[in-house]
């Protein structure tokens, strides 16, 4: 029952912080957020690799019982983790605590509500990564939108309401499209499934038990449903051209919220693509490998080019996330151990590095009250620690060896070049690698203009080193990025055990 305890403690912590006085909310939220970290690390320490939870492998820390029966289908409370979901659970708990601490300086209004919503979002994210019944999973999936909407809409920048509504509308419509596609599959399976348990549905689909539905034969239904589910999750990732909500949300959101948005919420989309599309319907994924790989490459190059054109540091990091998530899609569609495993590892690596970059931008903004590249230069002399960590994080984004980003991209490229799902995969991989050059261009450009050279600042604020509680989360994230780069098998071993069953059966 450790997963239930983890979720329940986080929900209760959110409630306690909601009713706490503002004067105590920040420190109380940080203290209570440590409890989920302890629980997730306890799960990681006790975890015994048991295979893929959706394809017949044993599920760690499992709880499964019938919750409701609706229309002849049993709705289960069914939770558990495997080597794919457990690293994301750990990432969520760690990044939430660091984001909360990073909010101590910029958040000074309605603090109890802000930190309560942050913890509420964490609880729902934990549900997304542990629920193995579609009904429970979808409840958590949709519930994540609510705190994020208010966090952007209440504490965001001048255009916060527009950004919050755009975020909510885009992702909610995407969820509807995904829901319709998935439920069509359930109806097509008919009596082959008796519940909405994801392992049961995955095994039925891979066993070829899908029949026609709504006038569509089984093959057409499966393809249409795959596309609908893919689009629904692709908006959350996001991939080009479904990414337009992301820059607005990032720019207007408070920096601690941007940390969770880039570090964890985007991983909901890639995690769901792996769980649903690439695990349940591998035959359709391999049939559509060219358009999917094309979308991945376009996202990598287009996202990097958009970042290169920006003057706002936050927009630069936001567009770079579109580029990085393209690599994840490329690894997933490769259908090799290193490709799919590397894509999963890259979710963790990007979560750490993007969180680090957004926090560093936030610390600079807290001091200078500007994010525009042309408004400042040479601030490394005044903020040496922050600047040093920012540079290290940027090199991690570029794929510097012995950092987590290098390990993730290396695994993806190794798996994609070796892929046999289509003869064009090496060409798609080679094209995607050019994204690294563009990444180096826009990050070096931004650092050179803001951090180095003669000091210049177009503002009336004193530029000095940030306080310890602002810099400490940056240092922790940098340390974790290095540790995971030096010792990737801390997670990659369990990830491989979980992705190997995806690569067997289904003609792969």
Give the model's confidence band at 466: pLDDT under 50 very low, under 70 low, under 90 confident, else very high: confident
pLDDT at 30 (0 to 100):
96
Please say if the pLDDT value at position 505 is more than 60: no
- What is this structure's pTM? 0.94
Give me the residues paired with residue 70 across strands: 73
How much is the average pLDDT of 63-90? 89
Q: Report whether the peptide linkage leading into residue 408 is cis, meaning its omega lies within 30 degrees of zero.
A: no
Q: What per-residue confidence (pLDDT) applies to 437?
A: 86
Q: What confidence category does residue 157 fall into, taking pLDDT thresholds of 50, 70 and 90? A: confident
Convert the pLDDT of each residue in 368-378 to its tens digit.
Answer: 888 888 888 88
Task: Give the Cα separation of 152 and 164 in Å (integer).
Answer: 6
> What pLDDT score was predicted for residue 378?
86
What are 465's two structure tokens? 């080193």
- Determine contact, residues 284/222, Cβ cutoff 8 Å: yes
Strand pairing report for 73-81 and 60-70? antiparallel
∠ CA 104-476-324, nearest 5°, is: 95
**How much is the pLDDT for 242?**
85
Question: For 308-365, how does the pLDDT look when each residue is reduced to its tens digit (9 = 90+)?
Answer: 888 888 889 888 888 889 999 999 999 999 999 999 999 999 999 999 999 999 999 9
State both tokens at 369. Answer: 């009250």
Per-residue model confidence as pLDDT tens digits over 240-295: 888 888 888 988 999 999 999 999 999 999 999 999 999 999 999 999 999 999 99
Whether the predicted pLDDT of 79 surpasses 70: yes
- What value does the mean pLDDT of the chain take? 91
| pLDDT band, very low/low/confident/very high, at 101 (cuts 50, 70, 90) | very high
Compute the C-alpha angle 400/404/407, nearest 5°. 80
The answer to whether 403 and 479 have CB atoms below 8 angstroms apart is no
Cα–Cα distance measured from residue 302 to residue 322, given in angstroms and rounded to the nearest whole number:
8
Q: What is the pLDDT of residues 5-24, one digit of tens each?
A: 999 999 999 999 999 999 99
Tell me how far apart the alpha carbons of residues 125 and 93 are, in angstroms, rounded to a whole number. Answer: 9
* pLDDT confidence of residue 508: 34
In this model, does residue 113 exceed pLDDT 90?
Answer: yes
Cβ atoms 354, 438 nearer than 8 A: no
- 111 in Cβ contact with 62 (< 8 Å): no
Q: Please give the backbone phi and psi of residue 488, each rounded to the nearest 5 degrees, phi first.
A: -65, -20
Query: Which region among 103-107, 298-302, 463-467, 473-477 has the lowest average model confidence (pLDDT)?
Result: 463-467
Q: What is the pLDDT of residue 200?
A: 92
Structure tokens at 112: 């109890």
- pLDDT level of residue 443 (50, 70, 90 thresholds): confident
Secondary structure percentages of the chain, helix, strand, coil, to 5:
75, 5, 20
* pLDDT band (50, 70, 90) for residue 48: confident
Give how far Cα 24 sits from Cα of 20, 63, 110, 112, Å. Answer: 7, 36, 11, 8
Q: Do 425 and 416 meet the contact criterion of CB atoms below 8 Å apart?
A: yes
Decide: helix, strand or coil at residue 459: coil
**Quick one: pLDDT at residue 506?**
37
At residue 507, the pLDDT reads: 33
48-62, 151-165, 167-181, 466-480: least confidently modelled range: 48-62
């Amino acid at each position: 029952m450790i997963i239930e305890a983890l979720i329940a403690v986080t929900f209760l912590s959110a409630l306690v912080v909601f009713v706490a006085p503002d004067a105590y909310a920040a420190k109380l939220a940080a203290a209570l957020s440590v409890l989920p970290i302890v629980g997730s690390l306890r799960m990681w320490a006790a975890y015994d690799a048991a295979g893929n939870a959706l394809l017949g492998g044993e599920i760690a820390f499992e709880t499964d019982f019938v919750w409701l029966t609706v229309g002849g289908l049993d709705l289960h409370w069914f939770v558990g983790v495997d080597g794919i979901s457990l690293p994301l659970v750990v990432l969520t708990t760690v990044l939430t605590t660091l984001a909360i601490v990073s909010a101590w300086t910029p958040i000074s209004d309605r603090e109890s509500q802000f930190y309560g919503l942050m913890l509420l979002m964490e609880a729902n994210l934990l549900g997304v990564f542990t629920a193995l019944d579609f009904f429970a999973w979808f409840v958590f999936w949709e519930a994540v939108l609510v705190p994020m909407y208010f966090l952007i809409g209440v504490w965001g920048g001048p255009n916060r309401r527009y950004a919050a509504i755009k975020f909510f509308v885009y992702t909610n419509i995407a969820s509807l499209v995904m829901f319709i596609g998935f439920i069509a599959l359930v109806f097509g399976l008919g009596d082959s499934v008796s519940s909405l348990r994801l392992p049961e549905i995955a095994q039925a689909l891979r066993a070829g038990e899908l029949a026609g539905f709504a006038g569509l034969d089984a093959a057409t239904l499966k393809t249409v449903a795959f596309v609908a589910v893919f689009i629904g999750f692709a908006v959350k990732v996001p991939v080009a051209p479904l990414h337009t909500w992301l820059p607005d949300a990032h720019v207007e959101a408070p920096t601690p919220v941007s940390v969770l948005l880039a570090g964890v919420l985007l991983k909901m989309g890639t995690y769901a693509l792996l769980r649903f599309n690439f695990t349940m319907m591998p035959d359709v994924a391999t049939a559509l490998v060219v358009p999917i790989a094309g979308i991945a490459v376009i996202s990598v190059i287009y996202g990097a080019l958009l970042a290169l054109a920006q003057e706002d540091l936050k927009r630069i990091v936001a567009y770079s996330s579109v580029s990085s998530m393209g690599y994840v899609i490329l690894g997933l569609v490769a259908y090799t151990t290193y490709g799919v495993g590397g894509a999963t590892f890259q979710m963790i690596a990007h979560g750490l590095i993007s969180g680090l970059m957004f926090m560093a931008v936030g610390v600079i903004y807290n001091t200078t009250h500007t994010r525009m590249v042309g408004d400042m230069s040479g601030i490394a002399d005044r903020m040496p620690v922050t600047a040093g960590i920012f540079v290290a994080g940027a090199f991690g984004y570029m794929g510097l060896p012995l950092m987590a980003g290098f390990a993730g991209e290396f695994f993806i490229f190794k798996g994609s070049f070796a892929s046999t799902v289509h003869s064009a995969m090496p060409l798609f991989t080679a094209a995607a690698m050019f994204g690294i050059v563009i990444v180096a261009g826009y990050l070096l450009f931004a650092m050179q203009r803001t951090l180095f050279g003669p000091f210049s600042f177009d503002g009336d604020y004193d530029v000095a080193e940030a306080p310890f509680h602002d810099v400490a989360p940056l240092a922790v994230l940098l340390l974790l990025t290095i540790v995971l780069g030096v010792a990737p098998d801390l997670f990659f071993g369990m990830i491989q055990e979980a992705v190997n069953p995806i690569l067997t059966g289904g003609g792969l």
